[in-house]
Structure 1
Amino acid sequence: MIQCTNCQETQNLVKAGFVRGKQRFLCKSCESYFTVQTTPVTPAKKNHQTTIVDIAKALGVAPSTVSRALNNSKEINENTRQEILRVAQELDYRPNLLAQSLNRGATNTIGVVIPDIQRPFFAGVLSGIQQVASNAGYRVMICQSNESHSTETLNVQALMSSQVDGLLISHSVETTSFEHIKLHLNRGIPIVHFDRVAYELPTAKVILDNFRGSFLLVEHLIKQGCKRIAICAGPKELLISQERFEGYKSALQEYGLSFDPDLVYHIGFRKNEAVDALNQWLSLESPPDAIFAVHHGNAIELMVELKKRGIKIPAQIAVAGFGDDQIAELIEPALTVFHQFPLQVGEIAANTLINNIIDGDNFVPEDIIVQGKLVVRKSSLKI
C-alpha cells in the first residue's frame, strides 16, 4: 500500500507523472508531492485493446504526452519517453493502424490478387513482392481468386475497403470484363498488372516473355528433329495462352513445318484434360513426336502418363513446357522449360506499384517485359 511520505495518508493520492523512472504522486490531504519506485503495470483485460488513454492513466500523464512519446517527438524528455515505452510494452499496446491511416491518408499496405497461390509461379512472385514491400516499409494483403471472376471482384472490393494504398493483380481465367478495376482506377488508386494483364486499361504492366519463350521451346524441339509437335494449349480466352500459341505457330512457320489443327488441344490447366489431349493425339494415324505444353505443370502430368503407357521420353515423344519449378528438374527425365524468373516478376511489380504510389499523378505507366530463359534438359534431347 502506498502512503504519503509527509502525512502517511493512503486515500487521497493521485498519480502525477514520474521522475527518473519513479512514479510521482500528489497527496491532496497535505498538498505535497513524493515519488516511489515504479511497479509493474496491471495488464489490460483479455479482450481489451490497450489505448493511449490506458497508458496515460497508468502513468498519470496526459494522453497527448503519450502520443508524442510514441511518435518519438523531440518535445518529450528522453527519460519520460523511455518510461512510456516501458509501460506501453507491459500493457501490450499496439497502434491502431486504421486510425493512423485515416489521419495521414495512407496505410502503407498494398493489396495483391492472384489466381492460384498453390502454383509455384505465383508463390515465387509473392516472395518477390513481399521482399520489396517489406524493405520499403509496406505490409502486404494477399487474396486468391481461385480462377473465379466473381471471387476476384470480391477480393478487390475487400482490399479497397481495407484502404490499401495500391493494388497488384493477375486476373483469373474467367475474367474478361474489367469494370471492377476501372472503378478504382478512376478514383486514382494506383494499380499495376502482372502476368495476366488487361491491355485496355492504362496501368503499368509487368508481363512475361510469352511469345518468344514459346518460339524458343518449339524451335528447340524442331532442331532436335521433331516434325509433328503437338501443343497442349491453355484456355482460348486467356491472353497469355494466345501469346504462347502464336509463338508456337510462328516457330512452325519459320522452319517450314505445316500447322495441323489435330495437334492442338485447348485445356483449362486441369489434369484430366491433359490426359484427354494425350488420348486424342495417340489415336491419330500419325501421332506427335513431341508435345509442347503452355503450362509446365501439364507437361509434367503428360510425362507421368506417357511413362505409365510405356512410351519412351524423349525417344518416342519429346516434351517441353512453359514455366519452371523444382519438380520439373527432379522428374526423370528432367523437363525442358522456359524459365520465367517469378521472383524477379514480383520484385519489379512491387517496385513499380510503390513508385506509382509515391509519384501519384506524375507516374507514367509502361509495359515491362521480364526476359525468360530456355533451359534444356533430357525430356527433349532426341539428338
Structure 2
Amino acid sequence: MNKNTAVTIKDIANALNLSASTVSRALRGMPEIHPETRQAVLQLAEDMDYQPNQLAKNLVKSRTKTIGLILPTLSYHFFASMLNSIEEAAMQAGYSVVVCQTNESYLREVAQIQNLLHSQVEGVIMSLARDTSDFEHIYRLQRKNVPLVIFDRYSTDIDASRVIVDNHEAAFKATQHLIENGCQRLGCMAGPPHLLISNERLRGFKDALEHYGLPYNERYVFYNDFTQENTMMQALNMMSLPTPPDGILTMTDRIAFATMYAFKQKGIRIPEDVAIVSFNNDPTCIYLSPSLTSVNQPIQEMGAQVVRLLLKQLENDQPVVAETIVLSTQLMIRESSMVEGRKK
C-alpha cells in the first residue's frame, strides 16, 4: 500500500479477512463483536495509523475543551512558570489543561503522549525531554491530526509550530558580557550534545569568542546531563585543568547553582577566580552569595504565544502552516560576573 494513501476500513477488513461492517462495528465498540476480534481490529488500526473520516468523526465527537501539556519536569523554575502562563492563557480561552511530566525520560514521554490521546485532548503542547532523540511518537501524534505546539526544547526534525527564544543571540551577549568584564579564558557547561537549544547556546558562545579574537578550546567545554552530581564533578574537572577558565557560561541556572556550590566547597572564589553567567533567571539567583547573572526569558509572552498558536489550529477547519515565534531575552547582570580590576 502507498504510504501516502489513507488507510480505510476496507484495508483493515482485507488484512484480517473480515467484512467491512464487522470492522466498522469493532471500531465503534459495538457489544456484538467478539472481544478477540475487536482487539485484533483495534491493534491493526493502530499499527496502520487508521484515521476515521474526519467529517463523520466530528458529527459524533463532543468537544472536550482540554489541552495536554507535557513538561520535562516541574522542578525547574522555567517549566513551572511556563505551566502557570500556559494554564492562564488556556483558561481565558475556555480550555482546561492536563499536565504530564516526563522526568526527562524519552520512554515516559512516549507513554504520556499515548495517555493524552486516550484522554481525548484536543491538542498537545510540549517541550522535549532531555533523553529524546527519536521522534516517531510525535510523528504518530501528527498523523492522527492532533494539533501540536512545541516550546523551548525543540527539534528541526519536527514540522510543528513552536515558540522559542533566540538562544544563539542570548549566549552571544552573555559571553560578550564576560569578555567585556575582563575574562580571557572562557569555559562552557553545556547540556546533552543532542539537545538543540544547548547546541544553539554553544554556537553563540563560540561566535562571541571568534568575534573578540579569543580562542575556542574544546577542553573548556563540558557536556552535562543536568544532574547535580554530574554538574559538580564536571565543574571541578574544568577548574582542575592546567590553565582553568576565568569565566564560565552555564546552560541553566540549576547547572550554575551546583557549579557555584562545588566551587565554594573547594575555596574557588566567584567572581574573583572565575565569573559565571547562566540561563533562566530563577528567582533564587538574587538570593545567592554572590547573586547570579542570568538570561531572563519572557515566560508570560511565551505561554501566551504557545496557546495562541494551538488555538489557531484548533479553531481552523483547514490545515494550518507551522509557525516559529522567536522571542528576545534580557541579561540580568548581578555579582557573579562583575569582576573589578581585571585587565580587558
Please report the TM-score for the alignment, with normalisation by the length of structure 1. 0.71
Aligned with 2:106 (options 149, 156, 166): 149
What displacement does 1:204 show? 0.6
Matches within 5 A, 1:71-150: 103-150=60-107
**CA distance in structure 2 between the partners assigned to 1:284 and 1:161 by the alignment:** 52
DSSP-derived class of the 1:344 partner:
helix
DSSP-derived class of the 1:124 partner:
helix
**CA distance in structure 2 between the partners assigned to 1:348 and 1:231 by the alignment:** 30
Cα RMSD after superposing both structures: 1.5
Q: Which deviates further from its counterpart, 121-130 or 277-286?
A: 277-286
**CA distance in structure 2 between the partners assigned to 1:102 and 1:197 by the alignment:** 34
Question: Percentage identity across aligned positions?
Answer: 34
**CA distance in structure 1 between the partners assigned to 2:240 and 2:141 by the alignment:** 50
**Residue in structure 2 matched with residue 248 of structure 1 by the alignment:** 205
**AA in 2 matched with 1:222:** I
Rg larger for: 1
Tell me whether 1:331 sits opposite 2:288 in the alignment: yes
**Residue in structure 2 matched with residue 52 of structure 1 by the alignment:** none
Structure 1 segments, 4+ long, off by >3 Å, are 101-105
**Residue in structure 2 matched with residue 230 of structure 1 by the alignment:** 187
The answer (yes or no) to whether the contact 1:313–1:379 under 8 Å persists in 2 is yes
DSSP-derived class of the 1:246 partner:
helix
Tell me whether 1:365 sits opposite 2:322 in the alignment: yes
The answer (yes or no) to whether the contact 1:193–1:206 under 8 Å persists in 2 is yes
**CA distance in structure 2 between the partners assigned to 1:271 and 1:154 by the alignment:** 26
What displacement does 1:200 show? 2.2
**Residue in structure 1 matched with residue 227 of structure 2 by the alignment:** 270
DSSP-derived class of the 2:316 partner:
helix
Unaligned runs of 5+ in 1: 1-100
The answer (yes or no) to whether the contact 1:125–1:347 under 8 Å persists in 2 is no
What displacement does 1:311 show? 2.1
Q: Which deviates further from its counterpart, 223-232 or 174-183?
A: 174-183
**Residue in structure 2 matched with residue 347 of structure 1 by the alignment:** 304
DSSP-derived class of the 1:218 partner:
helix
What displacement does 1:281 show? 2.1
Tell me whether 1:301 sits opposite 2:258 in the alignment: yes
What displacement does 1:103 show? 4.7
Matches within 5 A, 1:156-175: 156-175=113-132
**AA in 2 matched with 1:108:** K
For CA contacts below 8 A with separation 6 or more, give which structure has more relative contact order: 2
**CA distance in structure 2 between the partners assigned to 1:330 and 1:368 by the alignment:** 32
**AA in 2 matched with 1:287:** P
What displacement does 1:270 show? 1.0
The answer (yes or no) to whether the contact 2:222–2:238 under 8 Å persists in 1 is no
**AA in 2 matched with 1:301:** A
The answer (yes or no) to whether the contact 1:230–1:263 under 8 Å persists in 2 is yes
**CA distance in structure 2 between the partners assigned to 1:341 and 1:353 by the alignment:** 19
**CA distance in structure 1 between the partners assigned to 2:111 and 2:141 by the alignment:** 13
What displacement does 1:202 show? 2.3
**CA distance in structure 2 between the partners assigned to 1:129 and 1:261 by the alignment:** 38
The answer (yes or no) to whether the contact 2:236–2:263 under 8 Å persists in 1 is no
The answer (yes or no) to whether the contact 2:185–2:244 under 8 Å persists in 1 is yes
Q: Which deviates further from its counterpart, 354-363 or 258-267?
A: 354-363
**CA distance in structure 1 between the partners assigned to 2:220 and 2:139 by the alignment:** 38
Paired residues in the alignment total 283
DSSP-derived class of the 2:154 partner:
coil
Unaligned runs of 5+ in 2: 1-57
1:281/1:201 Cα in 2 relative to 1: closer, same or farther (>3 Å)? closer
What displacement does 1:341 show? 2.1
DSSP-derived class of the 1:181 partner:
helix
Matches within 5 A, 1:184-195: 184-195=141-152
DSSP-derived class of the 1:226 partner:
coil
**CA distance in structure 1 between the partners assigned to 2:235 and 2:156 by the alignment:** 33
**Residue in structure 1 matched with residue 35 of structure 2 by the alignment:** none
The answer (yes or no) to whether the contact 1:125–1:344 under 8 Å persists in 2 is no
What displacement does 1:315 show? 1.3
Q: Which deviates further from its counterpart, 120-129 or 364-373?
A: 364-373
String of CA shifts for 1:2-37, please: whole Å, max 9, x gaps.
xxxxxxxxxxxxxxxxxxxxxxxxxxxxxxxxxxxx
**CA distance in structure 2 between the partners assigned to 1:302 and 1:200 by the alignment:** 32
String of CA shifts for 1:211-242, please: whole Å, max 9, x gaps.
11111110000000100111111000111111
